Amino acid sequence: MGDFVSNVARLLDEAKTKEFNLGLQQGLQQGLQQGIRESQIKIAKKMILKGAQDEEIAELTELDIE
């Protein structure tokens, strides 16, 4: 009986670790995407100040013209 309980506890720990790692990976990916988006917007603002055309800004920053 003791081995069974130990195995169940180990499996639960492994499942929790996998869930934690998945959540961490998803959070890192979202943070990276947000950082890229903020960079694109920052570059677009600078381009606007320099007089760049909307189409050029969209092409170089990969942002949509809204």
The reported pTM is 0.71
Answer whether residue 1 shows pLDDT above 80. no
Residue 64 CA to its chain's centroid (Å): 19
Residue 23 near residue 15, CB atoms below 8 Å: no
The domain locations on the chain are 1-61
24-56: pLDDT as tens digits: 999 999 999 999 999 999 999 999 999 999 999
Question: What H or E segment, with its residue span, contains residue 12?
Answer: helix 2-49
Compute the residue count for the chain.
Answer: 66
Task: Give me 40's structure tokens.
Answer: 């694109």
Answer whether residue 19 shows pLDDT above 80. yes
Contacts of 48 (CB under 8 A, 6+ apart): 57
Task: Give me 42's structure tokens.
Answer: 């920052």
